[in-house]
Amino acid sequence: MRAAVTAIASHRRLLLPVLQSFQTSITTNRNRTIVRNIMSEMDPASFARPRLVTKKVLAKHQREGDGAVVRRCIGRSELKSLDPFLMMDDFSVSPPAGFPDHPHRGFETVTYMTQGGITHQDFAGHKGTIHTGDVQWMTAGRGIIHSEMPAGEGVHKGLQLWINLSSQDKMIEPRYQELLSEDIPSAEQDGAEVRVIAGESMGVRSPVYTRTPSMYLDFSLRPRAQVHQHIPESWNAFAYILEGEGVFGYQNKTPISANHVLVLGPGDGVSVWNKSSKPLRFVLIAGQPLNEPVVQYGPFVMNTQAEIDQTIEDYHYSKNGFEMAKHWRSH
């Protein structure tokens, strides 16, 4: 009997480490499962700091230009600006309404057509029409006077974004970058398609040179699709929903519907899900903040009031960049 007890005790001593190891393995695997389930619910992709929505603003209709209607996304009381972005309009215009001759100085305008076309003319002789899917990236620099009018009958729609220029770039010579729709790089992964107007996504890069470092992406997500986009941590970022509804940040958030501007908080990337039965389309825009004073007087954006006063004088007397304004009118 004593020999049997001794044998059992010996076997217990031998089995104990194995049993403890087995128990540890079960506990560890169970914890891994719990962690994996939590991560699946949150699904912040591979981001160390996922960006979340910190502000949501509905872009409401207002009149602009000569009879045009816009949804002002940025540049309204609820969202004055988001450095380096000064303004963004989701515009809709039909003849004879439009945006007749007007000046700019100190920033860039990016016009992206979503329907129809806009004909552009400026006092330097530049003229052209951009159609659905085309982009015009205009650096106003020291001064431009131009017109933007609908190209033909019907309703013409698009987005216009104003990007600030640094103090050292505000008085550079004007320039244009124009991309036809077929020349805008695009990519598609698992039901998520992107058009890369500026910056990089899904391994493709836009040829557009951004004097103020910026990203401008047009995403379309089929039902149940998702996308995870890296954004430089030091940049400010926002999304604007063109159609459908999407979940931004974490999967368990409430879907947000069209015509909302979503300011994204700090982090290294954003995740978006389309949980609806309809397509989702949104633009994701981000840029490196300039962290400089901004003094704005309508279409003039400088760093000091003295510079604004000088700009008004230059425009009035057709000098220092506005020389061609004296005898020019669009046709």
118 token code pair: 């806009």
Whole-angstrom Cα distance, residue 16 to residue 83?
63
316 is in an annotated binding site: no
Whole-angstrom Cα distance, residue 268 to residue 313?
44
Q: CB neighbours (10 Å) of residue 35?
A: 10
- The amino acid present at 9, given as its one-letter code, is A
104 is in an annotated binding site: yes
Residue in the block written with tokens 């007890």? 5
Alpha helix (H) ranges present in the chain?
Answer: 2-42, 305-316
Alpha helix (H) ranges present in 66-149?
Answer: none
Collapsing DSSP states into helix, strand and coil, what is residue 134? coil
Whole-angstrom Cα distance, residue 45 to residue 270?
9
148 is in an annotated binding site: yes
331 is in an annotated binding site: no
230 token code pair: 């890296």
Distances from the Cα of 217 to the Cα of 22, 175, 204, angstroms = 50, 22, 11
Q: CB neighbours (10 Å) of residue 184?
A: 20
- The gap from C-alpha 146 to its chain's centroid, in whole angstroms, comes to 25
The backbone torsions φ and ψ at residue 29, rounded to the nearest 5 degrees and listed phi first, read -65, -40
How much helix, strand and coil, in percent to the nearest 5, is found in the chain? 20, 45, 35
Are 29 and 37 contacting, i.e. CB atoms less than 8 angstroms apart? no
Residues belonging to the binding site for Fe cation are 102, 104, 146, 148
Binding-site annotation: residue ranges: 102, 104, 146, 148
